[in-house]
Amino acid sequence: MKPAPFEYHRPSSLAEALELLADLPDAEPLAGNQSLSILMSNRLASPDHLVDINDLAELSYVAADGQSVEVGALVRHREVERSGTLADALPLFPEAAGKIAGPVVRNRGTVGGSLGEGDPAGNYPCVAAALDADLELASADGSRTVPAEDFFIATMFTDREEDELITGLAIPREPFPPARTGQTFLAVKEAAQTWPTLSAAGAVRVDDPAADEPVVEEARVALANAAEVPLRVREAESELAGEPLTDAALAAAGETAYEAVDPEEELHADETYKRELAREYTKRALTTAHDRAVA
């Protein structure tokens, strides 16, 4: 099947792109085109206009200062995966990028496209949930910032309005200084090109990496493909905070995750199996993050 007819537009500035999205009826932004073309080819989406934003160089950046790490919407997965800035400041992010599909998808797919799709199995939504990221959106009427926990509403539904573009992502550096922090992203996948059956993003900060029993000061864990939205399991995090890491605390965190998830059944994974994965991968993500924090 072929896509329905559409008009193609290629703006040269963000302002021009936003005006097109505001003025054109039934318009969709086009970036990496790793999802939209599939929907259009199967007539699951038939926009009248495509607004190609690939010339908007102002949306392709990675920057870090003492307060936050910022990533532009047009940064490709491959750039995230290979970014030295991100590897130093937020290694969870490039690790998640390296687990997205295969090289072709990573070469073309973008941060903004992945976040805008709103798929609860997506890697970046899971990272955004784990690290309290803010999404930056713009329209012809102005710009706004939306916390990740408010942006993802339900499966494939987000808080983005039709005339808005995601322009970037901002992740606070606090409370994860690299010297005392470990991070990881784990995924269970049947094959490289498939969505993960379940993924887990973990981050742990300790008080003193050199101590015999370092105390966990902060822990984060979020799960992908475990509910209608990327799921941050705050109750599991609280099982670890304030004490050295123990098997009992990890077991309690895993049981909390088992109860917290609300997974959709799949061909190779029923609800019970996904709950068991949530339990196990919550423990693995927190253990790996802790081990990296004290290494």
pLDDT digits (tens, 9 = 90+) for 241-270: 999 999 999 999 999 999 999 999 998 899
Q: Domain for residue 1, yes or no? A: no
pLDDT digits (tens, 9 = 90+) for 84-107: 999 999 999 999 999 999 999 999
| Contacts for 83 with CB less than 8 Å, ≥ 6 apart | 62, 93, 94
Q: Domain for residue 241, yes or no? A: yes
**69 and 95 both lie in a single domain:** yes
What local confidence, expressed as pLDDT, does residue 34 receive?
Answer: 80
Q: Is 50 helix (H, G, I), strand (E, B) or coil?
A: strand
What local confidence, expressed as pLDDT, does residue 65 receive?
Answer: 94
Domain count for the chain: 3
pLDDT digits (tens, 9 = 90+) for 267-283: 889 999 999 999 999 99
pLDDT digits (tens, 9 = 90+) for 103-157: 999 999 999 999 999 999 999 999 999 999 999 999 999 999 999 999 999 999 9
What number is the average pLDDT over the span 74-78? 98
Domain around 76: 57-172
- Examine residue 175 and say whether the peptide bond preceding it is cis (omega within 30 degrees of 0): yes
| Domain termination residue (choose one: 113, 137, 172) | 172
What local confidence, expressed as pLDDT, does residue 16 receive?
Answer: 98
What local confidence, expressed as pLDDT, does residue 37 receive?
Answer: 78
| Domain termination residue (choose one: 172, 200, 228) | 172
pTM of the model: 0.95
- Residue 192 tokens read as 């490289």
What local confidence, expressed as pLDDT, does residue 191 receive?
Answer: 74
Q: Domain for residue 229, yes or no? A: yes
DSSP H helix total and E strand total for the chain: 12, 14
